Amino acid sequence: MKENLEQYLKFKSGEIRMPSHLKPRKELSGKLYESAFMERITRTPIWVPQIMWLVISSVFFWISYAKTGISVYHIVLLGIAGFITWTLTEYIVHRFLYHTETESDLLYDIQYKGHGFHHLYPKDPERLAMPPLPGLVFSSIFLGLFYLIMGTYALAFFPGFMLGYNCYISMHYFQHVVKSPMYKPWKKLWTHHKAHHYSNPYAAFGVSTRLWDYVFGTMPNKSKKANLTN
């Protein structure tokens, strides 16, 4: 929307500290839909998708081993490749879908419902992961795409990809509800994600890893990030 684009330009020029449509509110939770049914199916306790994806990934790894003739060695390699591919997908979606400011009402609606609402209420524990129903829909699309590209090898690649997603939603949840840990690599991830929410929503797009922010030059300002650890 035009207003969001104006807010973005003001933020980039230093006129404002945070765009209003991405500024965290004091309330823990808000209402995304008027419909009680839609509110219910768009919320989920974190353990539901965690268990669901762990089970689904395990089943696909078993199928790839027992039904396709793919060697264990190649299953492991494909799983690792899927996991790494997820981390790049996480970065691309977060940066180029959720944080691209345009005047498109359609894109704004997708951004707001898929991610912008989370920026307004970042500590709502039931909106820190995609609920099961839409999760199954989108994962099926990815599975179909992988199968078109690599055939039966997708049955080992896909569960690695979804384990990457499971790692992402778990890290994302803990980064919002658990105090920053003392373990240095995790502490850096916590600070990195806080910078994205409270300092610069147009940087620090990685959640489960900072790798792609280094690669594509979207690391947050060091001085601002340091303030978040105090």
Residue 68: count of CB within 10 angstroms of its CB: 16
What gap in Å lies between CA 61 and CA 93, rounded to an integer?
26
Q: CA angle at residue 92 from 13 to 103, to 5 degrees?
A: 50
* CA distances (Å), origin 123, targets 25, 47, 113, 117, 197: 10, 16, 16, 11, 11
Q: pLDDT tens per residue, the chain (230 residues)?
A: 678 888 888 898 999 999 999 999 999 999 999 999 999 889 999 999 999 999 999 999 999 999 999 999 999 999 999 999 999 999 999 999 999 888 888 888 989 999 999 999 999 999 999 999 999 999 999 999 999 999 999 999 999 999 999 999 999 999 999 999 999 999 999 999 999 999 999 999 999 999 999 999 999 986 554 445 44
Domain positions in the chain are 2-11+51-178
- Which pLDDT score is estimated for 223? 53
DSSP code of 205?
-
- Which pLDDT score is estimated for 103? 82
What gap in Å lies between CA 90 and CA 164, rounded to an integer?
9
Task: Flag whether the pTM goes above 0.75.
Answer: yes
Q: E strands within the chain?
A: none
Residue 208: which of 155, 168, 153 has the closest Cα? 168
- Which pLDDT score is estimated for 193? 97
Q: How far is CA 207 from its chain centroid?
A: 7
- Which pLDDT score is estimated for 228? 54
- Which pLDDT score is estimated for 35? 92
